[in-house]
Structure 1
Amino acid sequence: MTKAEKRVLILTSVFVTIALNIHRLFVLLPGEGRKIGLPWVFNAPELTYQVFFHFGFCMFFGYLNLKWLNWNTDMNKKRRVKNLLSNTIFFLLLMGFASTTQYFLFENVLNIRLFLLGYFFRLITSLGLISILVKIMLLNRTQKRKEQENEQLKIAYFNAEIKNLRAQINPHFLFNALSSLSALVRENPSKAQDYITHLSKVFRYSLSNHHEQLIGLDKELELLDSNIQLLKMRFEDALEIHIEVPKTHGIQLPHMSLQPLLENAVKHNFVSKEIPLRIDIFQENGALHFKNTLNEAVYKEPSTGIGLLNLNERYNILMGKSIEIEKTNTHFTVKLPLN
Structure 2
Amino acid sequence: MKRIKNKKLRISRYVVLGLVSILIGILCVLLLGGEVRMSVKSWAFNIGYSLTLGYGLFANGFIASLIGKRWIHWIKYPKRSIVISFVVTTLYSTFVIFFANWLWFIVLLDYSWSKFLTFGTNILLIEYIVLYIITMFFYAKAFFNEWRETLIAEEALKKEAVSLQYKVLSNQVNPHFLFNSLNVLGSLIRLDADRAGIFVNKLSDFYRNLLAARGKEIVPLNEEVDFVNQYLVLQKERFGDNIVVDIETDKLNHHQVIPMTLQMLVENAIKHNQVNKENKLQIKIYVQDNYLIVKNSVTPYLNPIGGEKLGLKNLSERYQFLTDRPFVIERKQDEFIVKVPLLQLEDNVKRA
What's the TM-score once normalised by structure 1's chain length? 0.53
2:185–2:200 contact (8 Å) kept in structure 1: no
Counterparts of 2:140 and 2:183, CA distance in 1? 63
AA at the equivalent of 2:172: F
Q: Please show how residues 1-339 of structure 1 align to structure 2 within 5 Å.
A: 130-175=129-174, 176-189=176-189, 190=193, 191-236=195-240, 238-248=241-251, 249-272=253-276, 274-275=277-278, 277-283=280-286, 286-292=291-297, 294=299, 296=301, 305-306=307-308, 309-319=310-320, 320-328=326-334, 332-339=335-342
Shift in CA distance, 270/150, structure 1 to aligned 2, threshold 3 Å: closer
Shift in CA distance, 36/240, structure 1 to aligned 2, threshold 3 Å: closer
AA at the equivalent of 2:312: L
In the alignment, structure 1 segments of 5+ residues that lack a partner are: 16-34, 40-117
Q: 1:304 Cα shift? A: 7.7
Shift in CA distance, 128/195, structure 1 to aligned 2, threshold 3 Å: same
Q: 1:208 Cα shift? A: 1.9
AA at the equivalent of 1:321: F
Counterparts of 1:147 and 1:122, CA distance in 2? 37
Shift in CA distance, 194/266, structure 1 to aligned 2, threshold 3 Å: farther
Name the SS for the 1:188 alignment partner: helix
Counterparts of 1:224 and 1:173, CA distance in 2? 13
Shift in CA distance, 193/37, structure 1 to aligned 2, threshold 3 Å: closer
AA at the equivalent of 2:218: L
Q: 1:271 Cα shift? A: 4.1
Counterparts of 1:145 and 1:243, CA distance in 2? 48
Q: 1:226 Cα shift? A: 0.6
AA at the equivalent of 1:149: R
2:224–2:262 contact (8 Å) kept in structure 1: yes
- Structure with max Cα Rg: 1
Name the SS for the 1:337 alignment partner: strand
1:326–1:333 contact (8 Å) kept in structure 2: yes
AA at the equivalent of 2:340: P
* Identity within the alignment, %: 17
Q: 1:310 Cα shift? A: 0.4
Over residues 230-272 of structure 1, what are the superposed CA-to-partner deviations in whole Å (9 max), with x where a residue is unaligned?
Answer: 1222333x43423241322233333212223333444445544
Report the equivalent of 1:106: none
Name the SS for the 1:155 alignment partner: helix
In the alignment, structure 2 segments of 5+ residues that lack a partner are: 1-77, 95-113, 321-325, 343-352
Over residues 170-210 of structure 1, what are the superposed CA-to-partner deviations in whole Å (9 max), with x where a residue is unaligned?
Answer: 00122253132132244333455433321221121122222
Shift in CA distance, 289/132, structure 1 to aligned 2, threshold 3 Å: closer
Q: 1:161 Cα shift? A: 2.0
2:273–2:299 contact (8 Å) kept in structure 1: yes
AA at the equivalent of 2:228: L
Q: 1:217 Cα shift? A: 2.6
Name the SS for the 2:332 alignment partner: strand
Q: 1:223 Cα shift? A: 0.7
Counterparts of 1:145 and 1:261, CA distance in 2? 38
Report the equivalent of 1:103: none
AA at the equivalent of 1:213: E
Q: 1:293 Cα shift? A: 6.0
